[in-house]
Chain A
Amino acid sequence: MAKANKRAQTPRHRPNAPRERPSAEHPAAPTGTRVAAGGGVPASAARVTTGVPGLDRVLGGGLPAGGLYILQGTPGAGKTTLANQLAFAHAKAPGAGTVVYLTLLAESHERLLANLRTMTFFDEHALGSRIAYVSAFSVLESKGLDGLLELLRRELRRRGARILVLDGLGAIEDSAKSPREVKRFVQAVQVQAGLLGFTGVLVTSVPTKLGTRSEHTMVDGIIELSDKTFGNVAVRQLEVKKLRGSAYHRGLHTFSITDDGVQVFPRIESLLQFPSKFDASIGRRTKTGIGQLDTMLHGGLPSGSTTMLVGPSGAGKTVFGLHYLSRSTAKEPGLLFSFYETPARLLDKANKIGVDLRALVEKGHVEIEWEPPIERLLDDLGDRLLTAVRRRRVKRLFIDGLGGFAASAVHPERLPAFFTALANELRARDVTTVYTVESRNIVGREIEAPLTGISTIVENLFVLRFIEVGAQLHRLLSIVKVRDSKYECDVRELRIGPSGIDIARTFASADEILTVPALPTTVAAMTTQSRQRR
């Protein structure tokens, strides 16, 4: 008989995984459409959760159970932290079986545990009974790979382990006479994983001393951690290079290591290739909180839409947003996602224009999330925003300073896709979003927005300008675009007083301002300098 599909015969390989069913949160897409919960990654086999926030999502639900995986990375990249986090997460799960953490490192367990004790996932009570740290260095030295395999098999079987972490695959490569021996060892561990029913993680550094890693072709998955610098900023990145039997989110994802361990931030545009739901708000309107503007918009902003408010510093963008949030209620919760102004300053600013933001915050109708954009991770910010939206089912979102996201992007070319995915998801969640973008020029008739490539997400575009007439500065508002809606497109004068924004009822005052020849500040300054020289 011909030798057919021999790979599928190995005991560890378990096909025919159940598929994830749509839920109320992620309803099934109508026939003929492509909308997949969580970005289009189908669920496959039974999974082992990694206990690492964000990583299971990258992996499409966790590590397929019964497989053997390589976790590799440069020294200091976070491999041992991640592997231990996985071990402790598994040990905490009720009825999950034990973990054997087999080390081939020169470092003692005392030192390893001393470092782990600073982590919040560390649990002293799990040691021994649920996580067994086994040093195999001396066995490898004295008995070679066969001795190591025997130790591994006996320990796993004796303890009924469901997880094996083998920390120090490099020591096996050092000990082996050829890549073939390493391959044979990995294959033997794979067979044991199938027979004994455990999932294995082999931890190792890169690059290998033996050149091409033969074991890479054999294992069920490879996760690589790296730590790179962009300018002066160091960024940790994770990439799943291979995962058999499962779709996963390819490419680089950033991660952080804190006292809570590793947290992975899947690339938003990969995670949300398709929004989790369909638009639910077509045809409805959301009041802006500025009466005259709602009149110009024939009732308000289209619900679930995205509005970009462009203007120079001081033009009234934040004040606009505070008006917008002032209409937040228990049914229409608001979120102020601020990058630059602190909550205290925002509360004070609102108070000065007669918006009792503090009361709205105290009632829980508005939440202020302040995220200073200093050495931040783009996807962390995106995740925080979406988490805050989901947690309170936010309907009114004001992002004060879209540039805060851009400032956190080490790969700016990602921004258009990032913003598109974010906007699609917010729209699907019936969130009406207003965000501000600061223009480069302070005063003048032309407006230059510093962010490029975001036009695709702009459904409504409002422009604020300063115009100089004589010794006076005037603010003008233009509604440039509103998605699929009628609106008054004439320019209006906008004033900010003790009651906040007041928009002129007609274009007459704006017309008067614009018909007077005005010089932008920069030109005026040059003219003044020129006169002084003369």
Chain B
Amino acid sequence: MKRILVVDDEIGIAEAVSDLLGDEGYVVDVARNGEDAITLLSAKRFDLVLLDWMMPITDGLGVMTALRGMANRKSPPVIVMSALPEDVVRSDAEIAGFLRKPFDVGDLLRVVSQTLPAR
């Protein structure tokens, strides 16, 4: 069973995305900020990370920098969720997928399944 980490400081979005992915059979953890995300990524192995880009204190770029620094393991693919244009995010970081906010359930499941094809 694939495990996904959803990171978003807007808890409503994080929980809604988590519920929808749960319906699809994924095991989902939720982090409400960048710090919690780094802690969870250090402690558990994830097959995919859905990451909000604009968060206070430690933003998406901060989480990705920390993730790349975890040299002892293979980094999971990261899908960024943001209202920013995709090229702006991609110019800062190498990401596996992008979800432009606002997105709907169809966009979410399509990008997740493209990035994580085999369960």
Contact = CB atoms under 8 A, between A and B. Distances in A.
Interface in B16-50: 16-17, 19-20, 23
A10 B53 contact: no
Interface string A258-277: 00000000000000000000
A187 B11 CA distance: 10
A311 interface: no
Nearest to B14: A191
A197 B102 contact: no
A3 B83 contact: no
A9 B10 contact: yes
Among B19, B23, B82, B102, residue most surrounded by chain A Cβ atoms (within 10 Å): B102
A157 B103 CA distance: 15
B23 A9 contact: no
Contacts of B19: 150, 153
A2 B83 CA distance: 13
Interface in A1-26: 1-6, 8-14
A9 B12 contact: no
Given A4-B54, A9-B54, 17 more contacts: A1-B53, A8-B83, A9-B52, A9-B101, A10-B102, A11-B13, A13-B102, A184-B12, A187-B12, A188-B15, A191-B12, A191-B15, A194-B102, A194-B104, A195-B17, A195-B105, A197-B104
Contacts, number: 73
Interface of A is mostly: helix
Contact of B12 (A4, A8, A188): A188
A447 B104 CA distance: 69
B67 to A, nearest CB: 16
Task: Bin chain A's interface residue count.
Answer: 20 to 34
B111 interface: no
A329 B26 CA distance: 74
A237 interface: no
Contacts of A187: 12
Nearest to A185: B12
A11 B101 contact: yes
A66 B15 CA distance: 19
Task: Bin chain B's interface residue count.
Answer: 20 to 34
13 contacts: A1-B54, A1-B55, A1-B61, A2-B54, A3-B56, A8-B101, A9-B52, A9-B54, A10-B10, A11-B101, A157-B105, A187-B12, A195-B104
Contacts of A195: 16-17, 20, 103-105, 108
Interface of B: 9-10, 12-13, 15-17, 19-20, 23, 52-56, 59-61, 82-83, 101-106, 108
Nearest to A194: B102
A6 B13 CA distance: 12
A10 B9 CA distance: 11
A217 to B, nearest CB: 15
Contacts of B56: 3
Contact of B105 (A5, A10, A196): A196
A246 interface: no
Q: Would you list the 9 A-B pairs with minimal beta carbon distance, nearest first?
A: A11-B102, A191-B12, A1-B59, A9-B83, A191-B16, A9-B101, A187-B12, A197-B104, A188-B12
A8 B84 CA distance: 10
Contacts of B61: 1
Interface in A109-157: 150, 153, 157
